[in-house]
Amino acid sequence: MLEGNGNTYIFNGDIFGTIWVQTNNIVIDGAGHTLQANGDTLVGINIEGRSDVTVRNVVIQGFLGRAGILVTGSNNCIISKNNLEGNLIGIEISGLSSNNRIVENNLLNNTSGIELESAMVLN
């Protein structure tokens, strides 16, 4: 349920399960649609070892295994204008990630809103 146009991928409906980001320099735009946990899925959007990834306008719900958005070992990513609801962790930044920005997200009823673990945080 993602439509790609160049480096931008836009939801055209709700999605159940995990999105694994496997390339650099992309934008994932939820267009207000929902990414919902499906069974035992641990993470909503997994950004591992990537750079210059933007995630915006996604409603992310029900990821109770780990996090709605996990950014690990990644740099220069932007997490913007998302709604993270009912997850174990709303947004987790870990694994020596650097220069990532978390901007204008709504975090509601997560066990933990934002967690920074072993992360280099730069303003």
Q: Over the stretch 32-68, which tens digit does the pLDDT of each residue have?
A: 999 999 988 899 999 999 999 999 999 999 999 999 9
Instruction: In whole angstroms, give the CA distance from residue 89 to residue 113.
Output: 6
Cα dist. 17→61, 63, 97 in Å?
Answer: 10, 9, 24
73 CB contacts (<8 Å, ≥6 apart)? 48, 49, 94, 95, 96, 97
- pLDDT above 70 covers a percentage of the chain that reads 92
What average pLDDT does the chain have? 93
Rounded-to-integer distance, Cα 24 and Cα 47, Å: 10
Q: Examine the pLDDT at 119 and tell me if it is beyond 50.
A: no
- Cβ atoms < 10 Å from Cβ of 122: 9
Question: Is pLDDT of 26 > 70?
Answer: yes
pTM of the model: 0.92
Cα distance between residue 80 and residue 71, in whole Å: 13
Q: Which of 44, 22, 20, 48 is nearest to 105 (CA)?
A: 44
